[in-house]
Amino acid sequence: MSQRSVSGPVFIPAAGVAVLPRGLKRLLGTSDGQRLTAALPRLRAAIAGGAVLVAATIVFVPRVRDTMDLLAAALLFGVVIEIARLAVIHERTAARATLYQRVARFAGEVHQTLEPEELARTAVKATRLALPSEVAMLVTIDPATGTQHVLAMEAQSSRSIGASVLPDPRVAERAIREGRLVVEPTTEPDNVQRKRRSLPLQPLRAAVPIFHRDRVLGALVVGRLSGSRAFDVVELECLALIAVQLGQALGNVQEHALAVDASVHDPLTGLYNRRHLHSAIERMTGSRADEGFEDRRPMAAILFDLDHFGRYNKEHGHLNGDEILRLFGRILDGHVDTAGLAARYGGEEFLVLLKGRDLPDAVAAADAIRLAMSQQSASESGGGVRVTVSAGCAVMPPAMTNVTELIALADEGLRRAKLAGRDRVAVAY
C-alpha cells in the first residue's frame, strides 16, 4: 500500500485541536496525525511571535486507493486553514479590544486633574496598568530652557524623579528628537535570545513622543526586562493612543496654568496685578489679626511712582513708555526677594510689601531701586533720557493689623517725596 502526502500552508490556532471538526480529530488520532499534534506547541509559539503561516506536511495511508482521498484531504486542509485563520483573528481582536478598554480607562483618569504633579503620577501608574511593564516614566521638556526632566516614574525605585535627562541616545531623547515611536532593543531571533540567556537581563524599552498642537511636550517610556515578553504590535499601537490622550491632558494643564498666570500677573511688566494684590492684602490682614500682639513681625510698604511719566509718553511715544514700564518691572523683580511682593498698583505706580522688614530696611531697598532706575533708564533708552522715580516708605506698628492702612501711610510718604522735588525716598509714620 503506497503512501500519499499533501503539503501546504497550515494555520494552527492557539486554541489547539479542540476547535477542529470531528473528522480532523479522527485524522489527528492516527499515527501520522499524532506527529502533527506533537508539533502544535512549537507552532503555537510561532503564532504568538507573529509567524502564523507554517508549512506542514501530513503523510497518511489512505483507506481507499483512489484520488478521492487526496481531494478529501485537500478539502480538510482548507477547513484547517479557515478555522485557524478565524481563531487567530479572534484572539488578536480580543487582545486588541482588551487593550483599547485599558486605553479608555487611561483617558478617563488623566483628564480628571489639572495639577501637573498629580497628572504625572496618575499617567505613569495608569500606563503600567494599561501596558503591563516593569517601569513607566514620563519625561517632559522645560519650555523655558528646553531641558528634559523625569517628571514622574512608576517602578521599583523612584530615585530618578527630578533627574535631568541629558541629550544622549537614550530612548526618551530619541523619541523626542525624532518625533516617532522608538523601541530598544529591537526584537531578536530565537537563537540570539538563547545565546543571551547567560548574560544579565537588559531592558526592552519603548518610548513615544507626546505632542499637543504640533508641539512636542516630552515622551512616555515603558520598559520590560529582556526575559519578559516583548511589546507586540497591538501594544505599541495602544502606547501611541495613550500618548495622544496624555498630550491632550498635558496641554490642558499647561493652558490652565497660563490662564491662571494671566489672571494674577500684569501682562506688560510681569509683576502681580491689582487683582492679585487685593487678594494678598486680605490674606495678610487676616493673618496679622489672628497673631498675638507680641508675635506680630514688622511689615514695610514702598509705593513708587515714575516721575513725569505722562510727559515722557507725550514726548517719546507710548511704545517707549511701555519699555520704561517693563524696565522698572525687571528692576523691581530683581530687587524684591521671595519674602516680598511686588505689584503694579496702577498706571505708573508700583507697590512693594516686605514681610519682616523694618523702616531702615525699606528705605535702603527703595533707594537702591531708585538709583538702579535712574542709571539703567539712561543707558537703555534710545535717546539717553534718564527716567527717575520717587518712593514713599512706611512700616506697620504692632497695633496695626490692616495692610490697607499701611499702604495709605506709604502713599503719604510718596506725596512728601514729590513735594520735596522728586527722585527721592520719603517716609511717613
Q: What is the pLDDT of residues 253-281, one digit of tens each?
A: 999 998 988 899 999 999 999 999 999 99
Distance between CA atoms of residues 254 and 386, nearest Å: 40
| Percent residues over pLDDT 70 in the chain | 72
Most confident option among 14-28, 172-186, 214-228, 334-348: 334-348
Pairing of the two strands 203-212 and 215-225: antiparallel
User: Which grid coordinates belong to 77?
Assistant: 486542509
Place 421 in a pLDDT band, splitting at 50, 70 and 90. Answer: very high
Which residues are bridge partners to 426 per DSSP?
392
The 8-class DSSP code of residue 186 comes to: P
Cα 327 to chain center, whole Å? 33
Is 381:320 a contact under the CB 8 Å cutoff?
Answer: yes
What local confidence, expressed as pLDDT, does residue 210 receive? Answer: 96
Domain boundaries, the chain: 4-93, 111-187+201-263, 274-427
- Which of 3.30.70.270, 3.30.1360.70, 3.30.2040.10, 3.50.50.60 is the CATH number of 274-427? 3.30.70.270
Mean pLDDT to the nearest integer, 311-339:
92
What local confidence, expressed as pLDDT, does residue 32 receive? Answer: 44
What local confidence, expressed as pLDDT, does residue 274 receive? Answer: 93
At 20, is the secondary structure helix, strand, or coil?
coil
Distance between CA atoms of residues 76 and 20, nearest Å: 10
The whole-chain average pLDDT of the chain stands at: 79
For 358-407, how does the pLDDT look when each residue is reduced to its tens digit (9 = 90+)?
999 999 999 999 999 999 988 776 556 899 999 999 999 888 999 999 99
For 69-93, how does the pLDDT look when each residue is reduced to its tens digit (9 = 90+)?
556 666 666 666 777 777 777 777 8
- Selected residue with higher pLDDT from 379 and 28: 379
Mean pLDDT to the nearest integer, 292-315:
92
CATH of domain 111-187+201-263: 3.30.450.40
Burial of 237 (0-12, 13-18, 19+ CB in 10 A): middle
What local confidence, expressed as pLDDT, does residue 89 receive? Answer: 79
What local confidence, expressed as pLDDT, does residue 337 receive? Answer: 85
| Percent residues over pLDDT 90 in the chain | 49
Place 166 in a pLDDT band, splitting at 50, 70 and 90. Answer: very low
Q: How far is CA 418 from CA 100, 189, 411, 413, 414, in A?
A: 70, 84, 11, 9, 6
Q: At what angle do helices 116-130 and 67-110 cross, to 10 degrees?
A: 160
Burial of 265 (0-12, 13-18, 19+ CB in 10 A): middle
Number of CB atoms found within 10 A of residue 273's CB:
19
At residue 115, does pLDDT exceed 80?
A: yes
Phi-psi region of 179 (alpha: psi -120 to 50; beta: other; left: phi over 0): left
Is 259:251 a contact under the CB 8 Å cutoff?
Answer: no
Most confident option among 17-21, 29-33, 177-181: 177-181
What local confidence, expressed as pLDDT, does residue 93 receive? Answer: 82
Mean pLDDT to the nearest integer, 401-425:
96
What local confidence, expressed as pLDDT, does residue 34 receive? Answer: 47
For 200-246, how does the pLDDT look when each residue is reduced to its tens digit (9 = 90+)?
445 588 999 999 998 999 999 998 876 677 888 888 989 999 999 99
Which residues, including other chains, have CB under 8 Å from residue 17's CB and lie 6 or more apart?
Answer: 24, 25, 28, 37, 40
